[in-house]
Amino acid sequence: MAKIAEELLLQPQDKILDVGCGTGAMIPFIHQYIPLSQLSLCDCSDAMLKEAKKRFPECPAICSDFLELKRGNFDKLLFNAVFVY
């Protein structure tokens, strides 16, 4: 996961949407590059999103299917292990 975060070429001002964040496994790796307030979490599972929010309350969260999101202002989207499900 560290390699994935490194390859995103993140900048401190980037706004990231972690699509299918689950319980937030990628968050510690992303946080090495950007503040948690710049990282938004998105998952269609309310239970998974609640777990991620317990661990990282600073991150804004969206409970939705990514394809149903109306709008967002993000510099990069992260899809890690999403298409498996």
Phi, psi of 61 (to 5 degrees): -130, 145
Name the residue range of residue 25's domain: 2-7+14-79
CATH of the domain at 49: 3.40.50.150
pLDDT of the residue at 68? 80
Reported as a single tens digit per residue, the pLDDT across 50-83 is: 999 999 999 999 999 887 877 778 998 888 877 6
Amino acid, single-letter form, for residue 75: D
**What 3-state DSSP class applies to 34?**
coil
Reported as a single tens digit per residue, the pLDDT across 14-29 is: 999 999 999 999 899 8
Q: Does any domain span residue 85?
A: no
Indicate the number of domains in the chain: 1
